[in-house]
Amino acid sequence: MASALPQEKEQQQARRPMHAGVGGAGANGRHHAYSRKDKSLGLLCSNFVVLYNRDDVESIGLDEAAKCLGVERRRIYDIVNVLESVGILVRKAKNRYTWIGFGGVPMALRELKERALREKSGLAPLQNEQQFAGIISDDEDDDTMGNPGADNENEKLSQTMDNPSNKPGAPRCRLRSDHRKEKSLGLLTQNFVKLFLTMEVDTISLDEAAKLLLGEGHEETNMRTKVRRLYDIANVLSSLNLIEKIHQGDTRKPAFRWLGRATTPNTENGVTVAVPPPGKTTSNKRAFGTELTNIDIHRSNLDSKVQKKAKLAQSGSDVLTNCKLALRSQLGQGKQSGFVYGHFHPAGARKHELDGGNKPGQRERAQDWESLSASFRPQYQNQALSDLFAHYVEAWKTWYSEFAQGSNIMQQHFGHSVNHFL
DNA sequence: AACTCCCGCCACGAT
DNA sequence: ATCGTGGCGGGAGTT
């Protein structure tokens, strides 16, 4: 009975009037066939982005957002939590968030990845890591299997490598608040993303993810709840184009694939780079033919070194891709053509619109770098942008130096361009 | 039937 | 006491 106190649940059961959802349950004859899709978190997220992804936005009030988007505040929390996890927003104060934009994604991902690797290798987390760190296996409590009395304080001090409350030296006394935090959508999002960033797999089903995140041997209910949350997360991440839902031939369960590129939803046409292969029930092999990384990594599967390198390369290129995109939009140089401002569109279409579009383009890649480096000039005097740029440079430097060791191929290919930057 | 995931109750922590 | 957050899981909608 993991978290919820027993009595609490009964209460929940009791109320619930049964969804008035359908057709407004009569409320007024407005009969526009109700479809949950109109209410999906993904769509909401798209709209949220459309609404706020502009230069003149920096502060967002939750109430205002809820009103504008016509949803209840609760849903805004959902969105905002995952957006924050990937660096698009930052909480500024109660009820208030600062819009960072997609430019914040690369950094966030980089940090996530670093952290994940650190965790993997068993190193202690950096103390200065601002956000509560994640846990790869947030296994906890549970398994009170028919021991309903054991609610609250039964948190075992889980041996997670991360300490959510990083008081240096302080023994962690994680109690309810920490416990709660561990289960937050935000953290779950981060851990979910970490899966993609550090694992070899390029697709993962939510069940698998849930298992990985929970650890084995969990009650069904636990799993189900986790999976529910993962659905929520996956939907918004998809709408951000960070992941993509794919269907694997054999099972009917879909899986998700990391795209690692953040673009404004529904903006596919052309602007973006690296469009993943036309998908079709893709094989599980990395098919990112368009990614920098595929240049020449012969991954003879079981060679862990190669794998590791590939992983590194993969995330590295993702970071680069993101930086590139971010810079572009920051510079305003890019035809943000794709950006659909103005009205909320049926973003449900996010995916389908895409295909007809560009063919998996390698072509763009090289020239991207050229033009990017050529056109780039930190000419803007806006402090925020400067900071942002500094961030990117930082990220680049680190990534590049670390990656350079691992791949001279990359170096050969891109060193030139990169050096332009640094 | 299985999969998705919206909805909103209510616990909790902050004010 | 009130308010802001957000975990949670029932059960409706979809496939």
> What is the tens place of the pLDDT at every residue in A74-92?
999 999 999 999 999 999 8
pLDDT: which is higher, A147 or A360: A147
Picking from A57, A84, A107, the residue at the C-terminal end of a domain is A107
Please report, rounded to a whole number, the percentage of residues in chain A having pLDDT higher than 90. 18
Nearest-Å Rg of the Cα atoms of chain A is 22
> Listing from the earlier edge strand, what are the strands of the sheet with A96-99?
A59-61, A96-99, A89-93
With respect to residue A247, please indicate whether it lies within any of the assigned structural domains: yes
Give the model confidence (pLDDT) of A6-55 as tens digits.
Answer: 333 333 333 333 333 333 333 333 345 667 788 899 999 999 999 998 88
Q: Which nucleotides of B are covered by protein (CB under 7 A)?
A: 3-15
With respect to residue A60, please indicate whether it lies within any of the assigned structural domains: yes
Residue A334 confidence (pLDDT) above 80: no
Mean pLDDT of A99-113: 91
- Written as one letter, the residue type at A196 is F
Picking from A107, A132, A149, the residue at the C-terminal end of a domain is A107
DSSP summary character for residue A203: E
Please report, rounded to a whole number, the percentage of residues in chain A having pLDDT higher than 70. 39
CA pair distance A254, A256, nearest whole angstrom: 7
With respect to residue A168, please indicate whether it lies within any of the assigned structural domains: no
Confidence (pTM): 0.58
- Residue range of the domain that includes A204: 185-258
- Range with the poorest average pLDDT among A251-255, A277-281, A312-316: A277-281
Distance A345 CA to C12 C1' (A): 25
Number of domains in chain A: 2
Give the model confidence (pLDDT) of A386-417 as tens digits.
Answer: 344 444 444 444 444 443 333 333 333 333 33
CATH at residue A82: 1.10.10.10
CA pair distance A241, A105, nearest whole angstrom: 12
Give nearest nucleotide to A15 (CA–C1'): B9
With respect to residue A61, please indicate whether it lies within any of the assigned structural domains: yes
Distance A155 CA to B13 C1' (A): 18
Picking from A258, A292, A316, the residue at the C-terminal end of a domain is A258
With respect to residue A222, please indicate whether it lies within any of the assigned structural domains: yes
Per-residue flag: A81 CB under 7 A of strand C: yes
Distance A73 CA to C3 C1' (A): 13
CA pair distance A244, A83, nearest whole angstrom: 16
Identify which of A274, A310, A272 has the alpha carbon closest to the alpha carbon of residue A289: A274
> How many Cβ atoms are within 10 Å of A59's Cβ, its own excluded?
12
In the predicted model, what is the mean pLDDT of chain A? 56
pLDDT: which is higher, A377 or A117: A117
Residue A260 confidence (pLDDT) above 90: no
With respect to residue A98, please indicate whether it lies within any of the assigned structural domains: yes
pLDDT at position A261? 59
pLDDT at position A75? 92
DSSP summary character for residue A26: G
pLDDT at position A118? 84
With respect to residue A372, please indicate whether it lies within any of the assigned structural domains: no
With respect to residue A71, please indicate whether it lies within any of the assigned structural domains: yes
3-state secondary structure (DSSP) of residue A119: helix
Per-residue flag: A74 CB under 7 A of strand C: yes
pLDDT at position A176? 59
A367-387: b (≥16 Cβ within 10 Å) or e: ebbeebbeebeeeeeeeebee
Distance A75 CA to B6 C1' (A): 10
Q: How confident is the model at residue A167 (pLDDT cuts 50, 70, 90)?
A: very low
Give nearest nucleotide to A228 (CA–C1'): B5
pLDDT at position A259? 85
Identify which of A422, A89, A393 has the alpha carbon closest to the alpha carbon of residue A240: A89
